[in-house]
Amino acid sequence: MIVGVGIDVVDVARFMATLDRAPGLREKLFTPDERDLPASSLAARFAAKEAIAKALGAPGNMSWQDATVRRVLGGPPEVEITGTVQARATELGIDRFHLSLSHDAGIASAVAIAERDPA
């Protein structure tokens, strides 16, 4: 059963310019496993975290550090959630997320679907 859907789009050049202007932002938005990825991958992961937050109803208390988006060779990306993101997912009964990431022509995008098993 689908509980929530989120989508986000990021202009890669504008996003990277923001990270360059505010170097501490990289550490705030990304987990250590994500921080050194190429620009388009960073922007796609930011879009994924935004999409996940939207799928969860966009509560304002969630930490960016509590979601890590991982690439899976030969499969769709996966998200590992902890802390505030896990707490919200548990509150909503969410068992899993489905993610789709894309980046082309200077734009990164992500769709997140939050799902729970039917009761």
One-letter amino acid at 67 equals A
3-state secondary structure of 114: strand
Which homologous superfamily is 2-115 in? Answer: 4'-phosphopantetheinyl transferase domain (3.90.470.20)
Q: Is 64 helix (H, G, I), strand (E, B) or coil?
A: helix
pLDDT computed for residue 87 by the predictor: 94
Domain boundaries, the chain: 2-115
Q: What is the pLDDT of residue 61?
A: 83
Name residues of the chain where pLDDT drops below 70: 119
Q: For the beta carbon of residue 84, count every other beta carbon within 10 angstroms.
A: 17
Q: What is the pLDDT of residue 60?
A: 78
- Rounded Cα gap, residues 68 and 45, in angstroms: 8
Structural tokens at position 108: 């990164």
Structure confidence at residue 118 (pLDDT):
82
CA geometry: angle 107, 54, 18, nearest 5 deg: 40
Output the pLDDT for position 59: 75
